[in-house]
Structure 1
Amino acid sequence: MADDEAKKAKQAEIERKRAEVRKRMEEASKAKKAKKGFMTPERKKKLRLLLRKKAAEELKKEQERKAAERRRIIEERCGSPRNLSDASEAELQTICKQYWERLYKLEGDKFDLEHVQKVKAQEINDLNAQVNDLRGKFVKPALKKVSKYENKFAKLQKKAAEFNFRNQLKVVKKKEFTLEEEEKEKKPDWSKGKPGDAKVKEEVEAEA
């Protein structure tokens, strides 16, 4: 009986400690949530989705506005399309004349704008050059990229074209070879002996 009561008391103590730990964890989680305030992770996620949706709608509206503005400008400059299927010959001639006059005017405006653009670009370049001169800076001109191997190949080809194998051969005279052969065949002086050696040899042979 005493053992059972001790076990029950121990089990009750364990349950009490577990309840205290669980309570502390719940309080800590509540305090953590309270610190976060109004913007919880779920609300942040919803807010991001709403912002993306709003941005997509604004982008779509901006594209539609630009397309409408483009159509309006095209209609102002080129005019609305004409019905050519039911038009008579005189009406077609009138329409063609109107289109030609409009095209002629637009080409003139284009030429004027291009001329103005070139003049402004030249003025900008002159001003940049003056500013660089005042600062004491020299602007390097844009150089064309050239491969270094092309120059080497061109030089090699030029040398190969100028090179003549026969002209580069050394001219050898026959006398050079004849002199060498004569020198080889000519015996040295010591092998010939002295002028009186032959006479001495004959006397020795006679005495023998």
Structure 2
Amino acid sequence: MSEKKMSSSRRHQLKSLMLSIAKSRLEAEVIAIEGAKKTYMEENCPGPDLSGSMADLQELCKKLHAKIDKIDEERYDMETKVSKANKEIEDLKIKVQDLQGKFKKPALKKVRLSADQMLQALLGSKHKVNLDLRANLKQVKKEVKEEDKEPVGDWRKNIDEKAGMDGRKKMFETS
């Protein structure tokens, strides 16, 4: 327990020193990689000899195209092998998880879909799905209440009658 705490200025100084050393090493590594690329290209890909007739240059172009096609086929084959290997690795991971009995629950995303869209996604786009939720409901007949319906007339007349305006109208009409 006799450990002494390091001061923050000392810790900051050591951290900056470590970062500067790491930066210089990364720069040296990048320079070394570039040098290795350059030497590899010089060894395996010599510069083209363009001193010749037109027929020689055309022959050189044909050879280059043939090499490019061959390399492209190899690249395609490698990609298919890698994709098959990746798929096999995923399958083996799933088998291992099944054997262990531990399952990772995937993070689910919120998706807003209507019922029609969900059924169409499940059944495929070939099936037309119409989800009529009211189709299976019982039909209930509503009882119509018979109310005393008064004939609807002019609303102004009703107001005049209630306000006793008939007498006032007669007064104004006679004068």
TM-score w.r.t. length of structure 2: 0.46
Larger radius of gyration: 1
TM-score w.r.t. length of structure 1: 0.40
Highest RCO, 1 vs 2 (Cα 8 Å, sep ≥ 6): 2
Task: Considering fraction of residues, name the structure with more helix.
Answer: 1
